[in-house]
């Protein structure tokens, strides 16, 4: 009887030892170390990388006065866009905007935001690449779009001037305020006429186009038509706000350059009033703006 009881105890003890071994065996499996700053992965690190910019394929068009337009060859959207610094031919060689002609097909890269207007506006362009060198005959297919918006300029009206620059978000275009001018033209009877508008100094102008920019921003001047020469002068903006008559003591001549045949102010600063004197064969026109 005692032997039988001992046997039961021995078997019970054997099974307890066996269960303990199995338990220890399970706990003895290799466990993963807690993540440290070296092992942790950022949230979403295994997600697919963002898709690259998708290009908008469009034809390059021009109006008789030299304005640039584009038309999406897939959906017919008619729009304007600045020509970016990154402009390439089909082989990837950098191009100048002067190398483009009506009928060219380009891939246009950017933020994809088209402003609602007519024509549309695509300010956030970052890069363009020529896909095909088209011809004027190719562009003629879309001539009706140009005809809808183009108005023959009044020869008695002096030329206009726009300012263009880039920010981190977009390309910006500003129509400059026109001031004093002398302008010659031929009227419909073939007679030579001259118009003169002689008023106050820019520091006494009541209205000025405003431009928000960072110090060192490059400004591009685009005229319709392009001016033959440009001179730029600036004053602290406080003199304009106070209507100061002191126009010479703080006057500064601003450096001008030409890039691809276009006049530029290589470096501009906030807090100034800028006067631009642009000259064409027909005469000289003053334009102004202030920076903030």
Residue 156 gets which letter from DSSP? Answer: T
- Is 254 in the same domain as 180? yes
Do 225 and 196 belong to one domain?
yes
| 3-class SS of residue 3 | helix
Shared-domain flag, residues 169 and 208: yes
129 and 175, same structural domain? no
17, part of any domain = no
Chain-centroid distance, C-alpha 171: 2
- pLDDT at res. 9: 52
Q: Is 106 strand, coil or helix?
A: strand
pLDDT at residue 53, rounded to an integer: 63
pLDDT at 27: 40
**4: in domain:** no
Q: Assess whether 141 and 210 both reside in one domain.
A: no
Q: What is the DSSP letter of 44?
A: T
215 and 260 part of one domain = yes
Note whether residue 24 is domain-resident: no
Domain boundary among 88, 120, 147: 147
pLDDT of residue 82: 87
Give the C-alpha separation, 126 to 255, whole Å: 27
In this structure, is residue 191 part of a structural domain? yes
Q: Which of 56, 68, 236 is nearest to 164 (CA)?
A: 68
DSSP 47: S
Contact 84, 171 (CB under 8 A): yes
Domain range for 207 is 154-291
Domain termination residue (choose one: 120, 147, 174): 147
Is residue 128 domain-shared with residue 249, that is, in the same domain?
no
Structure tokens at 141: 């297919």
Question: Are residues 96 and 177 both part of a single domain?
Answer: no
41, part of any domain: no
pLDDT of residue 222: 85
From 124, 147, 170, give the residue that closes a domain.
Answer: 147
Q: Any idea what DSSP says for residue 99?
A: G
Is 208 in contact with 253 (CB distance < 8 Å)?
no
Give the whole-angstrom CA distance, residue 226 versus residue 11. 106
Are 282 and 228 a contacting pair, CB within 8 Å?
no
- Does any domain span residue 159? yes
Spatial distance between the Cα atoms of 89 and 98, rounded to a whole number of angstroms: 12
188 and 166 assigned to the same domain: yes
Within 10 Å of residue 277's Cβ, how many Cβ atoms? Answer: 17
Per-residue pLDDT of the chain (292 residues; tens, 9 = 90+): 444 444 445 444 444 444 444 444 444 443 333 333 233 332 222 322 233 468 999 999 999 888 899 999 999 999 999 888 899 999 999 998 889 999 999 999 999 989 888 999 898 899 999 999 999 999 999 999 999 998 887 888 899 999 988 887 677 888 999 999 999 999 889 999 999 998 899 999 999 999 999 999 999 998 877 899 999 999 999 999 988 888 888 999 999 999 877 899 999 999 999 999 999 999 999 999 999 9
Residue 256 located in a structural domain: yes
* Structure-token pair, residue 126: 């970052």
Length of the chain: 292
The pLDDT value given to residue 26: 45
Asked if residue 187 and residue 282 are part of one domain, the reply reads yes
Q: Indicate whether 210 and 286 sit together in one domain.
A: yes
The rounded distance, in Å, linking the Cα atoms of 198 and 191 is: 23
Domains in the chain, number: 2
At 46 the pLDDT is 32
- Same domain for 143 and 181, yes or no, is no
Q: Is residue 23 part of a domain?
A: no
Beta carbons of 122 and 109 less than 8 angstroms apart:
no
**Which pLDDT score, from 0 to 100, does residue 72 have?**
97
Cβ-Cβ contacts under 8 Å for 226 (sequence gap 6 or more):
66, 261, 262
């Amino acid at each position: 009887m005692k032997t039988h009881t001992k046997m039961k105890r021995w078997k019970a003890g054997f099974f307890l030892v066996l269960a303990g071994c199995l338990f220890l065996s399970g706990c003895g499996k290799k466990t993963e170390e807690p993540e440290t700053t070296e092992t942790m992965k950022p949230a979403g690190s295994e997600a697919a990388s963002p898709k690259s910019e998708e290009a908008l394929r469009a034809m390059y068009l021009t109006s008789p006065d030299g304005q640039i337009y584009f038309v999406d060859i897939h959906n017919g959207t008619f729009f304007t866009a600045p020509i970016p610094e990154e402009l390439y031919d089909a082989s990837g060689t950098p191009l100048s905007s002067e190398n483009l002609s009506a009928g060219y097909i380009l891939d246009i890269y950017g933020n994809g935001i088209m402003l609602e207007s007519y024509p549309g506006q695509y300010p956030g362009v970052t890069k363009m690449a020529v896909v095909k060198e088209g011809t004027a005959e190719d562009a003629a297919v879309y001539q009706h779009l140009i005809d809808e918006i183009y108005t023959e300029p009044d020869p008695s009206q002096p030329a206009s001037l726009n300012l263009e620059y880039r920010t981190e978000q977009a390309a910006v275009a500003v129509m400059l305020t026109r001031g004093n001018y002398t302008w010659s033209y031929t009227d419909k009877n073939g007679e030579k006429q001259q118009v003169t508008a002689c008023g106050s100094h820019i520091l006494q102008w009541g209205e000025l186009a405003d431009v928000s920019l960072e110090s060192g921003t490059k400004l591009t001047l685009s005229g319709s038509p392009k001016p033959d020469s440009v001179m730029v002068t600036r004053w602290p903006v406080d003199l304009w706000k106070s209507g100061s008559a002191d126009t010479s003591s703080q006057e500064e001549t601003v450096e001008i350059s030409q890039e691809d045949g276009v006049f530029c102010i290589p470096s501009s600063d906030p807090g100034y009033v800028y006067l631009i004197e642009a000259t064409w064969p027909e005469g000289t026109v003053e334009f102004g703006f202030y920076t903030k």
